[in-house]
Amino acid sequence: MAEIRGKVWRFGDNVDTDQIIPAERLVSSNLTHLNEYIFEKVRPGVARDIKKGDILVAGKNFGCGSSREHAPLSLIQAGFSCIVAESFARIFYRNSMNIGLLLIECGTDIGEGDTAEISTECGRIRDLNSGKEYEFPRYPPFITRLVECGGLVNLIREGEF
Amino acid sequence: MGKTIAEKILSNKSGMDARAGRIVIADVDYVMVNDVTGPIAFREYSKIGRKEMFRDRMVLIPDHYVPNKDVASAEQAKEMREFAKKHGISNYYEIGKGGVCHQVMIEEGFAAPGRLIVGADSHTCTYGGINAFSTGIGSTEAAVAFATGRLWFKVPETIKVELTGKFRKNVGGKDLIIKIITDIGVDGANYMAFEFQGDGVDTMSVSDRLTVSNMAIEAGGKAGIFPCDSLTEEYIKNTVKGAYTPVSADPDAEYCRILKYDLSKIESMVAFPHLPSNGHAVRNIDIKIDQAYLGSCTNGRIEDMRIAADIVKGRKVHPEVRFLVVPASQKVYRQMLNEGLMQIFLDAGAFISGPTCGACLGGYMGILAAGERAVSSTNRNFIGRMGDKDSEVYLAGPEVVAASAIAGRIAVPEQLERY
């Protein structure tokens, strides 16, 4: 699995799906460019500055609220390589795994603008600015298989279920 | 060792020994999508490339942006309509025949005790109020359920909520669930199910139970399940589709946490912006409002409309308040008409519309401007949830919403003597 290095965008606890992508943007004609609207109510303009490979770091309960798959989809479209959070809300977690957005469950105090390096192989995150390191546990076998397949649709195409 | 209701239903539907923490693949009884989550599911379904489709288990209910808000939502609704037509899906509920998806799922008898139901809408957990294991999923998962009739589930741990006593007048399910979420936090039940037990349950109406289950997700819960009793049977007897088997927990089931509430001690609650866990007792506050909203899958049932009408009857909506009344379905709308509730709300100066999720999610039909405040019988008060990022939503039950519409500030019915 991948080695990741990117600039960090820092968010707090309970980032809900309405913050990630407001409901008024949830129409099929926006599906290819949802990234233009991410965080528009809480961090206006941020969508323009996110670069491919950046990392989103947050606190507890990231992705709480709606079941809208538009939320992880918009984060993928924005270019985030992964989301690191102390915990994730359940439906957001499933949606992300099912469509191939990498989530890492790990509490950190990595700050805004820092550069972080992540090894999913070793389960380790390093904050290159502070030098601090964090460890995170591996996924359960089923989830690992889901992620390695590239999501649920591919898993089904391979004859699962 | 015994099993919780969640473990039993997931065991029944997977043919496996479903225990908390395990992952099972289970047969779903129904899979529901709405106009926002449906289109992604339809696209993903086509990628799966299987010929099979579990048509009879699929339920398509447009409700978020219908009647069409604008051209984009019209295109989206059309996509759903055409998918239903192309694939011969009979469980499609056009406007005028349906309403808010969760209300329709119950009224049309899809939801029933002991069933496993998934829906691409986070408030699918509502049907736990009638003893189903139901939970919100994403669109891709819905597509997989269309194609296979099955889905993977991590069997949740369960929080047991022991209820005793009886609600006081003007207090109900909404007040209880806001209290619970305030006590345990918006992630207090993340990845877990709630199971409600105790003789307090016997005193709760099914409508109150549905409100409680509806907001299990606001504590992160996967499901919020009530036992099936004579009230449940009575509630569904004329509408339920097919046979069903109620499920109860084993006496030696294992719970990860036990909460206890005496219903007679629950007060009228309101959840302040911007989290459902910011609960406060209404008697301690003084907050002026611009809008009162009665409706949604949480509190848009006929029981909610009756409660509110009883409070509003013979009074006038405060001159500086817009009072929006949105029945959750066409059936509720018709019942309101038949019972004379429409007349009461109209006489008071309320605006009444047909069913839609519209304003609840900040879509349309009642959006808030910057600086405006609403008291709302809905389920979420996140930043900008019902409109501008600088607007505010205060969540409450139908009693408080109706009283506030009259008083112009957040109030309980007991405070309306001078109106």
Task: State the pTM of this model.
Answer: 0.97
B318: preceding bond cis by omega (within 30 degrees)? no
How many other β-carbons are positioned within 10 Å of the β-carbon of residue B315? 18
The answer to whether B64 touches B70, Cβ cutoff 8 Å, is no
Between CA A81 and CA A83 the distance in angstroms is: 7
Contact status of A95 with chain B (Cβ, < 8 Å)? yes
The answer to whether A5 touches A115, Cβ cutoff 8 Å, is yes
Between CA B411 and CA B399 the distance in angstroms is: 9
Contact status of A98 with chain B (Cβ, < 8 Å)? yes
Dig out the tokens for B7 from the structure.
């473990």
Query: How far off is chain B from A134, nearest CA to CA, in Å?
Result: 23
Contact status of B50 with chain A (Cβ, < 8 Å)? yes
Nearest to B297 by CA among B163, B100, B105: B100
Q: Chain B partners of A31 at a C-beta cutoff of 8 Å?
A: 39-40
pLDDT tens, per residue, chain B with 419 residues: 899 999 999 999 999 999 999 999 999 999 999 999 999 999 999 999 999 999 999 999 999 999 999 999 999 999 999 999 999 999 999 999 999 999 999 999 999 999 999 999 999 999 999 999 999 999 999 999 999 999 999 999 999 999 999 999 999 999 999 999 999 999 999 999 999 999 999 999 999 999 999 999 999 999 999 999 999 999 999 999 999 999 999 999 999 999 999 999 999 999 999 999 999 999 889 999 999 999 999 999 999 999 999 999 999 999 999 999 999 999 999 999 999 999 999 999 999 999 999 999 999 999 999 999 999 999 999 999 999 999 999 999 999 999 999 999 999 999 998 88
Contact status of A119 with chain B (Cβ, < 8 Å)? no
Q: Which of residues 74-103 of B touch A (CB under 8 A)?
A: 75-76, 79
Find the domain containing A49 and state its range: 3-157
Contact status of B384 with chain A (Cβ, < 8 Å)? yes
Q: How far are the Cα atoms of A99, A154, B19, B91, B288 from residue B371, in angstroms, in the given order? A: 37, 47, 48, 42, 12
Query: How far off is chain A from B319, nearest CA to CA, in Å?
Result: 29
Query: How far off is chain B from A129, nearest CA to CA, in Å?
Result: 31
Report yes or no for ipTM above 0.85. yes
Give the domains, in start order, of chain B with CATH numbers.
Answer: 5-262 (3.30.499.10), 269-416 (3.30.499.10)
> What's the rounded mean pLDDT across residues A59-85?
97
Beta strands in B198-350 (DSSP E): 223-225, 257-262, 269-271, 279-281, 291-295, 322-326
pLDDT at A1: 43
Backbone angles phi, psi at B311, to 5 degrees: -80, -35
Nearest to A49 by CA among A113, A126, A108, A104: A113
Exposure b/e, A22-45, CB count within 10 A at least 16 = b = bbbbbbbebbeebbebbbbbbeee
The answer to whether B226 touches B213, Cβ cutoff 8 Å, is yes
Asked whether the predicted pLDDT for residue A150 surpasses 90, the reply is: no
pLDDT at A2: 52
DSSP A9-69: EE--S--BHHHHS-GGG-SGGGTT-GGGGTTTTTSTTHHHH--TT-EEEE-SSBTBS---T
CATH code of the domain covering residue A41: 3.20.19.10
- Domains: count for chain A: 1
Of the candidates B65, B148, B220, the beta carbon closest to that of A161 is on: B148
Angle at A35 between CA B358 and CA A110, to 5 degrees: 110
Helix (H) / strand (E) element for B77: namely helix B71-86
Q: Which of A62, A103, A153 to mutate to test the interface with B (most CBs of B within 10 A)?
A: A153
Please tell me which residue of chain B has the smallest CA distance to A98.
Answer: B140
Length of chain B measured in residues: 419
CB atoms A67 and B47 under 8 Å: no
Q: Chain B partners of A27 at a C-beta cutoff of 8 Å?
A: 36, 65, 72-73, 75-76
- Pairing relation of β-strands B351-352 and B157-164? unpaired
Answer positive or negative: Cα dihedral of B46, B47, B49, B50.
Answer: negative
Contact status of B275 with chain A (Cβ, < 8 Å)? yes
Of the candidates A22, A28, A94, the beta carbon closest to that of B76 is on: A28
Tens of pLDDT, residue by residue over A102-113, are 999 999 999 999
How many helices (H) and strands (E) would you count in chain B? Answer: 14, 17
Dig out the tokens for A26 from the structure.
């949830």
